[in-house]
């Protein structure tokens, strides 16, 4: 058992309440994760089992975005700004800011972790649905902050 206390040294922020995402949630942006007062930020996209058959024509792109003002967001295209977890479908952002594409049945029911190391104050993941998602997919998003200048409040 570890003697280190992670619990008291992180702040968690729910950025998307759990919903069933589909075409009516097209491009549903998460709330921005405000990094002010913290030196470390992690965005976690959570996905359940899709009610639709995923393919190249029915898919979800996960896009990393950042902002100075929590209003005007832009896709992050610099691969040095994102630290991507070990998930095999996640990668450094491409020229559109895409860090993962969920386009096969074996790719749903997972988490996508992206560490944000950019200079903007706010960061988020946006989910863009392509094709017809009639039944949808359960999605949520969580932000983690650490290395703060004040005690965290969980």
Architecture of domain 11-147: Sandwich (2.60)
Whether 73 contacts 29, CB under 8 Å = yes
Burial class (CB in 10 A: 0-12, 13-18, 19+), 64: buried
β 98-102/38-47 pair status: unpaired
Non-local CB neighbours of 1 within 8 Å, separated by 6+ positions = none
- Backbone φ and ψ for 50, nearest 5 degrees, come out as -70, 140
**Per-residue pLDDT averaged across 17-30, rounded?**
72
In 23-51, which positions are buried (b, 16+ CB within 10 angstroms) versus exposed (e)?
Answer: eebeebbbebbbbeebebbbbbbebbebe
* pLDDT tens for each residue of 36-83: 999 999 999 999 999 999 999 999 999 999 999 999 999 999 999 999
- Whole-model pTM: value is 0.89
The pLDDT value recorded for residue 22 is 74
């Amino acid at each position: 058992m570890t003697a280190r206390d992670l619990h008291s040294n992180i702040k968690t922020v729910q950025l998307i309440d759990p919903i069933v995402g589909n075409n009516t949630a097209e491009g549903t942006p998460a709330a921005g994760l405000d990094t002010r007062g913290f030196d470390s930020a992690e965005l976690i996209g959570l996905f359940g089992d899709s009610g639709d058959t995923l393919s190249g024509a029915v898919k979800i792109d996960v896009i990393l975005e950042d902002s100075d003002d929590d209003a005007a967001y832009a896709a992050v295209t610099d691969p040095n700004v994102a630290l991507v977890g070990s998930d095999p479908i996640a990668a450094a952002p491409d020229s559109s800011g895409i860090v993962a594409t969920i386009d096969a049945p074996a790719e749903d029911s997972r988490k996508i972790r992206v560490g944000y190391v950019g200079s903007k104050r706010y960061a988020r993941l946006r989910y863009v649905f392509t094709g017809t998602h009639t039944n949808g997919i359960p999605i949520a998003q969580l932000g983690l902050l650490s290395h703060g200048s004040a005690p965290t409040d969980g």
